[in-house]
Each structure stands twice: as structure tokens, then as C-alpha cells.
Amino acid sequence: MPIPANGARGHDVLVVGGGLIGLVTAWRAAQRGLAAAVADPRPGGGAAHVAAGMLAAVTELQYGEQPLLDLNLASAARYPDFTAELTELTGLSTGYRRCGTLAVALDADDRAQLRDLHAFHTSLGLESQWLSGRDCRRLEPLLAPGVRGGLRVDGDHQVDPRRLAAALLRAAELAGVTFLRSAAARVSRSGDRVTGALLADGTEVTADRTVLAAGSESGRIGGLPEEVLPPVRPVKGQILRLLVPRTHAPFLSRTLRAVVRGSHVYLVPRENGELVLGATSEEFGWDTTVTAGGVYELLRDAHELVPGITELPLTETLAGLRPGTPDNAPLLGATALDGLLLATGHHRNGVLLTPVTGDVMAEVLTSGELPGYARPFAPARFARQEQPA
């Protein structure tokens, strides 16, 4: 698309941020006939480049997060058709696997907590199967002998976020989405309405609606009044990638999870022999340094689960920032400022919630209405809390 002499570009929708959430928002909007643009210097990067890609609606459920469960389950159910559509359109694999998940306990306390979690699953009608330690080792022979029991959840799958991002990027390009390879410096306003954004390279982009989908950076965009500033904080996660040589295969057949010394650890095996190990959860602001301590803790905890992991080559160490909110649930839909919408704050569920977020944002962008199932995640839930009684 040519740039007018004044450098301005006009669109129906401007999406600020080109990670998984931004890409799926722009793609679904374009499929509905909207002229969509994405502002991001490196679309397809961000947290997706670091994430492991667990689609763990059941095994990641935590007490007090039941309102988020329905959204997570709805998105997980979309994944087979969602990834099939992307592959058919682009010819690119997303690495989607239905291999299931095994959550295990290493001591009596962990076993009791897993038992409680199993009862919690049952009370909510969720499918998980309790296994003895011996049964866990039958499924995964490389597990440590000390494993005391576990939960088998065949419905918790996985996807490769890097491949998914590449497929979404290509699908968006094929749908006619414009990519502006610059970050948004500030939103532009005319009175009480957002009219687009000024990019870091000086380009003024005009749009009927602007969607902030910049993950943990969403609250750092200039020009936002305090009342609509997204309450998003960065949550650091360090992650490791290892390679399973053919001489060691098969290593794991499914995603493995556990709590070791109070810290969550997971191992995600890819079909190409990669093994993703994560992840720390650190609230240290904007720091993305990979630390010796973080690497040590991850390898130490993983070694207690699968002793043979220390024999594998370490191929990559990374740290990224998850976008957390006060209730660790996403912000979806319109704000109090006309023309400004949010699709951010997905915390540890960004990959899982990618399909349903695309559907939600496409609906609100075309009809002006947030679907009923997404209304608990409207940005207004925090604005209301700040009003005087």
C-alpha cells in the first residue's frame, strides 16, 4: 500500500503488536472484510518465541481461576480446526500434537495436592485420570523411581508457538493485512476518540479502531489516559531448549509437569527431537536476563523428575515477559475511550487462548458487541473496581 505524501495511512483496524494475539486479531479481522494493519518491528516474535506451547486448560487450572476455565476450554476445543485451517491456507505446520499431559508428584505432600486437584477436576466435570507411581513409569519409563503418583490428562495438548506464529504471519499476509515494521510510540487522539497511532519511525497511522495487543508492553504506549491504561505487568519466564539425540529417543511421549520445591516445572517434547524445559516465574520488572540461577533451578528440578535429562545437549536459553493482570486473566474488548480496544494480559495462557481471542476480537470489531462468554474479561471490570462506593 503506498504511503500518502503526509506519511499517513488509513485503516479500519490498527493492531499494535504482532505477537500471536496481534496476528490472530488482524487475520480474523481481515477475514471479515476489514482493512487491518499490524504495527510491530518484528511480527511473529515476542513471547511466542520463548513460550513452550502447552495447551493445558485442565492441568494448569488453579483454585480461584474457575471464571477463566470456560474460556480456556473453549479455546482448546478450537485448536484442531484452527491449526488445520492455518496449515491448509499456508502450507505451514504449526506443530500441533495431541500427545496429552502427565502431571506427577515426587513426595507425599505433592501427591496429596495432586489428589486434591483430581477431586477438583472431578467436581467441575473435567477429565483426568489418577495413576499410581508404577503406572506413571509404565507410561514414561524414564521417570525417576521416586515418583509417587500422577494425573493423566489426554485432553491437554501442545503446539509449537514459533511455527504457529510463522503460520499466522503468512495467513495474515495472504488475507491482505498490512505490516508496518515499526513500534507504536503513542496513540493518536482527536478529542475523546483514538484515531490511530504515531509510530517510532514517524509514520502517522489512522484507523477507525485501534487494538492494543502488545503483551507486557501494552501499558507502556504513550498517549493513554490513566483511566484506560491497561493494568498489565511483566512476569519474567526463563526457559531452556535441549535436543534429544536419536540414540536417546524416544525420551518422553507426552508433556510432563510437576511441582518441585514449590516451583512449577514442565518438559515439552517436540516431534523434531527438541525438548522444551521451563519455566521460572519472576516479577523483576523488565529484565530479560538469562541467569545462571534460573538455568540451574530448571535443570535441577527436571533432573529430579527425569534423571537422564542431564545427558542431553543444551541448545538454547531464553527469557521472555508474560503480560500479567491483577486477576491473571486477559483484557478483551472495548475500553472507555472511543476507538480503543484491548487484546492483552493473557499471562501464561497466551498460546492457549490464541484461537478464541481471534474470534472474540473479530466479533467485537464487526458487531460492536463482546460475545457473552467473553464479557467477564472486558477491561471495564477493573475500571468499575476503581469507582467510589
Taking the C-alpha atoms of residue 158 and residue 101, their distance in angstroms, rounded to an integer, is 9
What gap in Å lies between CA 271 and CA 122, rounded to an integer? 31
What's the residue count for the chain?
389
Any long-range contacts for 285-291 (C-beta under 8 Å, 24+ apart)?
Answer: 285/234, 286/234, 286/321, 287/236, 288/236, 288/319, 288/320, 288/321, 289/319, 290/238, 290/317, 290/318, 290/319, 291/238
Residue 72: inside a domain, yes or no?
no
Q: Domain of 113: which CATH number?
A: 3.30.9.10
On whether residue 83 sits in a domain, the answer given is no
143 and 202 assigned to the same domain: no
Same domain for 217 and 360, yes or no, is yes
CA-to-CA distance for 210 and 16, rounded, in angstroms?
7
**Same domain for 175 and 130:** no
Last residue of a domain, one of 306, 324, 342: 324
CA–CA gap between residue 378 and residue 365 (Å, rounded): 14
Residue 28 lies in a domain: yes
User: Does 258 lie in the same domain as 221?
Assistant: no
77 within a domain of the structure (yes/no): no
The answer to whether the pTM exceeds 0.85 is: yes
Q: The domain containing residue 253 runs over which residues?
A: 98-156+234-324
User: CA-CA distance, 27 to 25, in Å (whole number)?
Assistant: 6
Find, among 312, 313, 314, the residue nearest to 295 by Cα.
314
Q: What 8-state DSSP symbol labels residue 222?
A: B
Q: Are residues 173 and 140 in the same domain?
A: no
- Evaluate whether 347 touches 234 at the Cβ level (below 8 Å): no
The phi, psi pair for 105, rounded to 5°, reads -120, 140
Question: Does residue 56 lie in a domain region?
Answer: no
Among 376, 329, 303, CA closest to 60: 329
Q: Are residues 220 and 282 in the same domain?
A: no
Residue 330, classed as helix, strand or coil, is coil
249 in any annotated domain: yes
Cell of 38: 499490524
**Cα–Cα distance measured from residue 344 to residue 211, given in angstroms and rounded to the nearest whole number:** 9
Grid cell digits, residue 179? 505490516
Yes or no: say if 146 and 106 are a contact pair by the CB < 8 Å rule: yes
Give the end of a domain, one of 301, 324, 347: 324
Residue 64 lies in a domain: no
The domain that holds 170 is classified in CATH as: 3.50.50.60
- Per-residue pLDDT tens, the chain, 389 aa: give them: 333 333 456 899 999 999 999 999 999 999 999 999 999 999 999 889 999 999 999 999 988 888 899 999 999 999 999 999 999 999 999 999 999 999 999 999 999 999 999 999 999 999 999 999 999 999 999 999 999 999 999 999 999 999 999 999 999 999 999 999 999 999 999 999 999 999 999 999 999 999 999 999 999 999 999 989 999 999 999 999 999 998 887 899 999 999 887 788 999 999 999 999 999 999 989 999 999 999 999 999 999 999 999 999 999 999 999 999 999 999 999 999 999 999 999 999 999 999 999 999 999 999 999 999 999 999 999 974 444 33
253 and 295 in a single domain? The answer is: yes
∠ CA 351-302-159, nearest 5°, is 20
CB neighbour list of residue 103: distance below 8 Å, 6 or more residues apart: 59, 114, 117, 150, 151, 153, 256, 257, 258
116 and 220 housed in the same domain? no
Residue 82 resides in a domain: no
Number of domains the chain contains:
2
C-alpha cell at 318: 531464553
Residues 222 and 258 in one domain: no
Is there a single domain that holds both residue 106 and residue 244? yes
- Looking at 274, 297, 324, which one is the last position of a domain? 324
Backbone region of residue 138 per phi and psi (left: phi > 0; alpha: psi in -120 to 50; beta: other values): alpha
Distance CA 140, CA 123 (A): 28
Residues 320 and 259 in one domain: yes
189 and 118 in a common domain? no
User: Is residue 171 a contact partner of residue 144, using CB atoms and an 8 Å limit?
Assistant: no
